A and B are shown apart, each in its own frame.
Chain A
Amino acid sequence: MERGARMIDAISAGLFALLTPQALLFLSLGVVYGLVIGILPGLGGVVAMALLLPFTYGFETAATLALLLGAHIATIWGDSVTSILFSVPGSAKGLALCFDGYPMTKQGKAKRALAASATGALLGGIIGAVFLALCIPLIRPVILALGPSEYLMMALWGLTVIATFSEGSLMKGMTASVLGVLVAFIGTDVVTATPRFTFGNEFLLDGISFPVAMIGLFAVSEMMKMSIRGTPIIDRSLVTEDSTVWQGVCDACRHWWLVVRSSLLGLWIGVLPGVGASVAGLAAYAQAVQTSKTPERFGKGAVEGVIAPDATMGANEGGGLMPTLAFGIPGGESMAILLVAFIGLGIVPGPDMLTKNLDVVFSMVWIIVFANIAVTIIGLGITPWLARLPSLQANLMVPMVLSVCFVGAYATRGRIEDVVVAAVFGVVGYLMDKYRYSRANFVIGMVLAVMIERNLHISINLYGADFLLDRPIALAMLIFVVVTAALPFWRERRRKRAALQAGGTA
Chain B
Amino acid sequence: MKSNRRKLLLAGAMTPVVMGMPLRAPAQVPDYYKGKTLIINIAGSPAGGHTRFARMLAPYIEKHIGAKEVRLVNMPGGGGLKAANHVWRLKPGANEVYFGNVSTLLLASLAGSAGATFDPTKFAFLGRVTSEPRVLTVGGKSAIRSVPDMQKLKRPFVFPSQGTDEDFYTMAVLADALGFKLKAVTGYEGNADTSLAVIKGDGDGHITGWSESLGAIRSGDKFPVMMVTSQASPDYPNIPIVTNIAPAAKKSVVQAMATILETHRSYIGPPNMEQQAIAAFRAAVNAAMKDPALIAESTKGERLLLPMDGTVQQKAMAEMARTSAALSPILKAAVKEIQ
Q: Hey, which bits of chain A sit against chain B, CB under 8 A?
A: 29, 32-33, 46-47, 50-51, 53-55, 57-58, 143-144, 147-148, 188, 190-195, 198, 200, 202-203, 205-206, 273-274, 323, 327-332, 335-337, 340, 343-344, 348-352, 413-415, 453-455, 457-458, 461-462
Contacts and interface: CB of A to CB of B under 8 A. Distances in A.
Interface string B63-87: 0000000000011111001100100
Contacts of A147: 196-197, 200, 202
B236 interface: no
A330 B194 CA distance: 11
B185 interface: yes
A323 B78 CA distance: 28
Given A414-B76, A415-B77, A457-B186, A143 B196 contact: yes
A327 B221 contact: yes
B77 A203 contact: yes
Nearest to A203: B77
A28 to B, nearest CB: 9
B45 interface: yes
A330 B191 CA distance: 8
B27 to A, nearest CB: 28
Contacts of B81: 202, 205
Contact of B5 (A55, A202, A343, A349): A55
Interface of B: 1, 4-5, 8, 12, 45-48, 52, 55, 74-78, 81-82, 85, 113-115, 158, 160, 162-164, 183, 185-193, 195-197, 199-200, 202-203, 211, 214-216, 218-219, 221, 300-302, 335, 338-339
Given A188-B115, A330-B192, 13 more contacts: A47-B46, A54-B12, A58-B300, A191-B186, A191-B187, A192-B186, A193-B339, A202-B85, A327-B215, A329-B191, A329-B196, A352-B215, A462-B203
A323 B113 contact: no
Nearest to B222: A327
Question: In the complex, which of the residues A32, A46, A414 has the most CB atoms of chain B within 10 Å of its own CB atom?
Answer: A414
A283 to B, nearest CB: 17
Given A57-B301, A144-B199, A195-B114, A202 B77 contact: yes
A281 B302 CA distance: 36
Contact of A29 (B4, B74, B164, B183): B4
A94 to B, nearest CB: 19
- Pick the 6 closest A-B CB pairs, nearest first: A50-B47, A350-B215, A328-B215, A454-B187, A191-B187, A193-B164
B85 A458 contact: no
B297 to A, nearest CB: 9
A274 B188 CA distance: 8
B46 A274 contact: no
A351 B302 contact: no
Contacts of A203: 77
A329 B200 contact: no
Nearest to A324: B192
Given A46-B47, A51-B46, A327-B199, A458 B192 contact: no
A190 B187 CA distance: 6
Nearest to B184: A461
A54 B339 contact: no
A458 B183 CA distance: 12
A330 B49 CA distance: 15
Contacts of B46: 47, 50-51, 414
B117 to A, nearest CB: 8
A328 B192 CA distance: 9
Given A51-B47, A144-B200, A413-B45, A206 B193 contact: no
Contacts of B219: 328, 350-352
A274 B52 CA distance: 26
A415 B193 CA distance: 29
Contact of B185 (A328, A352, A458): A458
Contacts of B75: 414
Nearest to B203: A462
A190 B77 contact: no
23 contacts: A29-B1, A29-B4, A148-B188, A188-B115, A193-B186, A193-B338, A194-B339, A202-B81, A202-B85, A274-B193, A328-B219, A329-B196, A344-B301, A348-B215, A349-B215, A351-B219, A413-B77, A414-B74, A453-B187, A454-B187, A454-B188, A455-B187, A457-B186
A350 B77 CA distance: 32
Nearest to B200: A144
A273 B202 contact: no
A191 B338 contact: yes
Contacts of B114: 188, 195, 198, 200, 205
Contacts of B202: 147-148, 462
A237 to B, nearest CB: 40
Nearest to A46: B47
A459 to B, nearest CB: 10
Given A144-B200, A350-B218, A193 B300 contact: no
A350 to B, nearest CB: 4
Contacts of A348: 214-215
Contacts of B47: 46-47, 50-51, 337
A200 B158 CA distance: 33
Given A203-B77, A328-B216, A414-B76, A323 B192 contact: yes
Contacts of A331: 192
Nearest to A55: B8
